[in-house]
Structures are given as structure tokens and as C-alpha cells.
Amino acid sequence: METIKYLSRIDLFSGLSEEELRRLDVATPICTHEKGAVVASPHLEAKVLYLVKSGKVRIYKLTEEGKELTLDILRTGHVFGEMTSFKTRSHMYAVTMEESIICEIDRQQFREIISKKSELALKYIDIVTARLSEVEEMLEYMAYGSVRKRLLFLLNKLLGKFGSNHLVDSEWVQLEIAITHQELASMTGSLRETVTSILNQLVSEGLVRKEGIRRNYWIHQRRLQDALSTCS
């Protein structure tokens, strides 16, 4: 029953009946990963689909210079690995940002599941399409936007995924994720020192604030979006 509860939280499987979730239970064993564990990489055996049952996972690839370029951060309910569904090997890496519970469905099992459930296959296609669109949008900002614009874009994306804890009668929203300057630099293809300098500017402009070294960021939603729309 515990596994079924986790499966019901996965975006891809939302709406399935308890009996359908029970059948999935057989194909999706639970595996707990400590913080910093490499879940997927080009050097590990390929699995067609990974399900984040709890925790957070960072998806990245290596640049030609050997630097990590973070493409996305996923949380409970998200799936990844789907862009390699019809390939034998992925060039993406996935590492846990905190203790996470993740399960894997291999190629044959997943094909059997979606062949019997057409609406599941359509939902899967929607997820893949949305993920590819997000990556393309990020890469476009990486190619043509300034570091400031890339950082504003990234903070806006993180706000959409991890924003919560609104202050009463305020547009300040806290991110439900602890993220370092180095991780922000990795996600924007820039240097940590550059990101630190721009974050300090955003703090002075009243867009971002952080209460304590180990506290999560607070972001002023309207100011951030206004700054993003006018930034070149």
C-alpha cells in the first residue's frame, strides 16, 4: 500500500485506479538514494523511466569543457529519463539533491504498460513535449541572453516549480528548495562569482532576499517578472 501511495503522487500515473496502481507496483520497486547519489548517467545501465516518489533530483549534462550544465531540477511527482525512451544510451546525468525515493521502469515493462493504457501513452507524450520545450527555452536564453537575464529567467522557473509560503498581504514567495550560488551558476552557464554579484544587485533592487546563510530565497514575484520583461 505504501508503494501505491507513492505511485499515485506521480504526475504520469495520476488518475489511475487502485487496481491499475497495484499492477504498476510489481514493476516499480522502491529505491532510496542518499543526497549526492548519481541515479542516471551515460556510464550506468539505461532505464527507460525514473519516477521521483520523494526528494529532489538535478538533471545536467557535461559541456565540451567538462563543466556541469544543469538543465532542470525535479521534485516529487516528476519523471525523467523519458527523452531517452527510444535510444540505447543517455548523455544526461541525474543526481539527488537530498535523500530521495526513486523507482525505475525498464524499457520492456514500460512499453507493456502504455500499450494497454492509451491515455497513459498520451500523457507521457505531453510530459516529454513539455520537458523538451523547457530545455529549448533554457538553451535559447543561454545562447542569446545576458547572465542577468538568464538568472532572472531561472529564478522565475524555480518560482513556478518550488514557490510557496507566501507572506500575508505580500507578493514575496519563498522557494521550497535550498540552492547554492554554484548551482545557480551551473544552471545559467556562468561563473559563481558573476552569479553572486548579480544576486547582490537583485537584493539591493528589492527582487530577492535571503534571511540567513542556510535559509531559502524569498522572491518578489511581480518585481522579478517586470525585471525579466525589460532585461536585454
Local confidence band at 205 (pLDDT 50, 70, 90 cut-offs): very high
Residue 88 CA to residue 47 CA, distance in Å, equals 9
Nearest Cα to 25, choosing from 103, 125, 107, 123?
Answer: 103
What is the torsional sign of CA 81, 89, 85, 83? positive
Q: Where among 142, 174, 199 does a domain terminate?
A: 142
Largest CA distance in the chain: 56
| CA-based nearest residue to 172, from 224, 225, 220 | 220
| Same domain, yes or no: 35 and 53 | yes
More confident residue, 22 or 210: 210
Q: Which domain holds residue 174?
A: 145-230
Residues 208, 210: Cα–Cα separation, whole Å: 7
Which residues are paired to 73 by β-bridges? 58
Nearest to 60, CA basis, from 199, 196, 188: 188
Where does a domain end: 83, 112, 142? 142
Last residue of one domain, picked from the residues 107, 142, 177? 142
Q: What is the mean pLDDT of residues 69-85?
A: 75
Task: Please check whether residues 127 and 202 belong to one and the same domain.
Answer: no
User: Which three cell numbers mark 216?
Assistant: 531559502
In this structure, the answer to whether residues 9 and 106 fall within a common structural domain is yes
The share of the chain scoring above pLDDT 90, in percent, equals 19
Please state which of the ranges 45-54, 56-65, 99-108, 149-158 shows the lowest mean pLDDT: 45-54
| Whether the predicted pLDDT of 85 surpasses 60 | no
pLDDT value at 89 more than 70: no
What residue type is assigned to position 217 of the chain?
Answer: Y
The pLDDT value given to residue 219 = 93
DSSP label at residue 175: E
* Residues 150, 193 share a domain: yes
Q: What is the pLDDT of residue 176?
A: 87
H or E element at residue 177: none
What is the rounded CA–CA span in Å between residue 231 and residue 227? 6
**pLDDT of 143 above 80:** no
Give the pairing type, strands 100-105 and 31-33. antiparallel
Question: What average pLDDT score do residues 49-67 get?
Answer: 84
Q: Which of 108-112, 123-127, 164-168, 224-228 has the highest mean pLDDT?
A: 224-228
